[in-house]
Amino acid sequence: MREQFESPIVLLGARLLSPYIMLFGIYVIFHGHYSPGGGFQGGALLASSIILIRISGGRIISRLQIREFFTTPLAAIGVIVYFLAGFVAVLYGGYFLDYEALPFPGDLSPAELRYYGILVIEIGIGIAVMAILVMIYDHMARGEDYV
Amino acid sequence: MKYAKILILAAFAGLMIYGSMGLPDRADPDNRMHQERSITDTVVAGSYFIREAYNDANTPNMVTVVLGDYRSIDTFGEQVVVFAAGLICLLILRKFRPV
Amino acid sequence: MFDFILGHYAYWLTIILLCIGLYGIMFKKNLVKKTIGLTILQISVVLFWVSIGSKWDATVPVRDPGIPTAEVANYLNPLPHTLMLTAIVVGVATLGVAFALLVATYNRYKTLDEEEILEQIQ
């Protein structure tokens, strides 16, 4: 970012749009079992809402939302959620990523266990894709200043 | 040199269109990939997914079931690739210390 | 003849898109334009896969209780959609890697023209 200047109109429009895009992203992740959607699409929508604030507001305002050093651990958390969903199944006597062995509370049939297992990994995918797209944007925007 | 490149590109396009003549009609339900048994008499994966996805995972959206259940290890590999791409961006554009 | 064209025009359109992408890769000197060509080529492959997964008189692969899933011809094939869903996201991430490399190249050589970079290397 070589030149920076403030534009209140752009910032106001982005502030108006961004929460609704984020809400729609969360809806797409959690409603992916019943309609077109899922972790990848919802994560891309969440990332678009965050990048919208970062483009319109600049570095100082966007620091209030998600700080720049926080995106890399968040991406790792997303991958680890996916990996643990598979590894816990191994610990409980199933195959890797075999959701029928996951210890969810309650008396659930194998089909319902698979339902909740898919939901867990969709959340992991959503967090990871959101954090990685924001991470790529951050480092590209800052990398222009480095020589 | 530029004309040779144009010739190569045109020849490639002609070859691809000639190859596409042998493909089956698009969206024909009688295609081999939409049948229940393949040529070697094994179960076709797409037909199995349509029929058994709701019974296996209690989820109406078949694409989610294929993504998260039947091909979940493939999806895990894709996610590791995306994570590695993010780490590569971090490592390329890091601010180097002046030596 | 009309049925043949109706069954194959989608393939020809994706082949034209693929040749546009190859044109960008082969002829353009600017590295950003080459990257755009690479993306167009990738999108053509995605469109080809989605087009071979379609089926006449079928609905989207989300189970509707009114339409029986026992008859396979009622639903589209979900497998190409799934493969391309992951391919799009991986394509976006690798595009980010490509642009990161371009930013690093521009920081070092102050140009993105292919021949000027080759001159500066030698």
Contact B72 A128 (CB under 8 A): no
> Which residues have CB under 8 Å from C92's CB, separation 6+?
A44, A133
* Domain-embedded: residue A29: yes
Q: How many domains does chain C have?
A: 1
Domain range annotation of chain B: 2-92
Buried b (16+ CB within 10 A) or exposed e, A17-44: ebeebbebbeebbeebbeebbbbbbbbb
Going by pLDDT thresholds of 50, 70 and 90, the confidence category of residue A6 is confident
What pLDDT score does C73 carry? 85
ipTM of the complex: 0.88
Q: What burial class does residue A103 get, using C-beta atoms within 10 Å of its C-beta: 0-12 exposed, 13-18 middle, 19+ buried?
A: exposed
Q: How many beta-carbon pairs below 8 A join chains A and B?
A: 100
**C59: three-class secondary structure by DSSP:** strand
What pLDDT score does A1 carry? 53
Cβ atoms of residues B60 and C45 within 8 Å = no
Cβ atoms of residues C19 and B13 within 8 Å = yes
What pLDDT score does A143 carry? 76
Domain containing A33 equals 8-143
CA angle, C65 as apex, C63 and C70 as ends, to 5°? 70
3-state secondary structure chain B: CHHHHHHHHHHHHHHHHHHHCCCCCCCCCCCHHHCCECCCCCECHHHHHHHHHHHHHCCCEHHHHHHHHHCHHHHHHHHHHHHHHHHHHHHHCCCCCCC
What pLDDT score does A64 carry? 86
Give the length of chain B.
99
In the predicted model, residues of chain B with pLDDT beneath 70 are 96-99
The pLDDT tens digits for C58-103 are 888 888 888 888 888 888 889 999 999 889 988 988 999 999 999 8
What pLDDT score does A2 carry? 61
* Domain-embedded: residue A77: yes
Give the length of chain A.
147
> Which residues have CB under 8 Å from C118's CB, separation 6+?
none
CB-closest option in C62, C96, C103 to A144: C103
A31 touches chain C (CB under 8 A): no
* Mean pLDDT score of chain A: 88
Contact B58 A122 (CB under 8 A): no
Q: What residues in B contact C85, CB-CB < 8 Å?
A: 63, 67
What pLDDT score does B30 carry? 82
* Domain-embedded: residue A1: no
Which structure tokens are listed for B18?
A: 């000639």
Cβ atoms of residues C97 and B72 within 8 Å = no
Residue A147 has pLDDT above 60, yes or no: no
CB-closest option in C4, C63, C90 to B82: C90
Q: How many domains does chain A have?
A: 1
Q: What burial class does residue C28 get, using C-beta atoms within 10 Å of its C-beta: 0-12 exposed, 13-18 middle, 19+ buried?
A: middle
* Mean pLDDT score of chain C: 90
How large is the greatest C-alpha to C-alpha distance in chain C, in angstroms? Answer: 69
- Report the CATH number at residue C61: 1.10.287.3510
Q: In this predicted model, which residue has the larger pLDDT, A44 or B32?
A: A44
- Going by C-alpha positions, the residue among A41, A146, B97, B10 that lies closest to residue C108 is A146
Residue A8 has pLDDT above 90, yes or no: no
Predicted TM-score of the model (pTM): 0.89
Q: How far is C86 from chain A (nearest CA, A)?
A: 8
Which structure tokens are listed for A56?
A: 């319109």
Mean pLDDT of C30-36: 94
The helix or strand, by DSSP H or E, that contains position C98, with its residue range, turns out to be helix C78-109
Residue C121: CB atoms within 10 A of its CB come to 7
**CA C14, CA A67: separation in Å to the nearest integer?**
42
* Domain-embedded: residue A108: yes
Domain containing C103 equals 2-121
Q: What is the dihedral of CA A40, C38, C106, A10, to 10 degrees?
A: -50
Contact C73 B17 (CB under 8 A): no
Cβ atoms of residues A36 and C61 within 8 Å = no
Can you say whether the dihedral through the CA atoms of A46, A52, A53, A55 is positive or negative?
Answer: positive
What pLDDT score does B97 carry? 61
* Domain-embedded: residue A115: yes
Going by pLDDT thresholds of 50, 70 and 90, the confidence category of residue A128 is very high
